[in-house]
Amino acid sequence: MLELQGVRGGYGRINILDSIALRVDDGEVLGVLGHNGMGKTTLLRAIVGEIPVSAGELRWQGESIARLPTHRRVARGIGYVPQGRRIFPLLSVRENLLFAASVHGGRQAAQVVDEVLADFPALPRLLERPGGLLSGGEQQILALARCLCTRPKLVLLDEPTEGIQPSIIEDMVLLLRSLRQRHQLSIVLVEQNLDFLRALSDRIVVLEKGRTVREARASDTAAMAALVESAEFTG
């Protein structure tokens, strides 16, 4: 579904991604693990088009998209839930969702929002509440629902457990599993909570200095132990 070969990119003249190679298969959840500053967020921003790719191949379903603007990548089925959520704090929950659903045209937007809300039972009671007044967990759910309003085939998730109470994290696992199954989603999941990452991922790769340096199947306990130890993670 998604393939990166020799991709370089970053901010101005500073390359954060260093000839990165990566693939995401149809229906797969790929976990991305790495310490701060290793290029995880930059990777997602390069895929969705928020930062330019200076070299290499970035292909979506066989098509080169490295020169496409962000809105055209979204139209092809790539969704993005950024770190920090980036919801509109002064808009209501309903308005946040309608804004994203407007990519389908004004007449369809309300219908799309209704369809998405069926997957998020916690949101209907909050529809008129400003996004900035939601709790961290509610904001994360809103950000995910807003992403699904674009009807993506691939969702890029950046640190979804950041600022979330531990008691809510298990609910987030169940929600993402349900969404993956119902909508046949592929997911690239950037996360430093290793238990959360393993609970959702098929494969996990480690990023170091803008390169993928290790990989393991999440179900392979021995391989995962070696991956975590070599990357100097604990837990």
Q: Does residue 18 lie within any of the structural domains? A: yes
Report the greatest alpha carbon distance in the chain: 53
Q: Within a domain: residue 38?
A: yes
Burial code of 142-171, b = ≥16 C-beta within 10 A, e = fewer?
Answer: bbbbbbbbbbbbbbbbbbbbeebeeebbee
- What's the confidence (pLDDT) of residue 81? 96
15 in any annotated domain: yes
Domain span holding position 174: 2-87+154-230
CATH number of residue 224's parent domain: 3.40.50.300
Is the pLDDT at 235 greater than 70? The verdict is: no
For residue 231, name the pLDDT band (cuts at 50, 70, 90): low
Tell me if 214 is assigned to some domain.
Answer: yes
Q: For position 165, what pLDDT does the model report?
A: 84
* pLDDT the model gives residue 107: 74
Has residue 109 been placed in a domain? Answer: no
Could you read off the pLDDT of 7-26 as tens digits, one per residue? 999 888 888 999 999 999 99
Q: Is the pLDDT of residue 100 over 90?
A: yes
% of the chain at pLDDT higher than 70: 97
**Number of independent structural domains in the chain:** 1
Cβ neighbours, 10 Å, residue 37? 11
The answer to whether residue 107 sits within a structural domain is no
Residue 199 belongs to some domain of the structure: yes
Q: Band of the pLDDT at 233, cuts 50, 70, 90?
A: low
Residue in the block written with tokens 């790929």? 30
pTM above 0.75, yes or no: yes
pLDDT, tens only, 123-156:
999 999 999 999 999 999 999 999 999 999 999 9
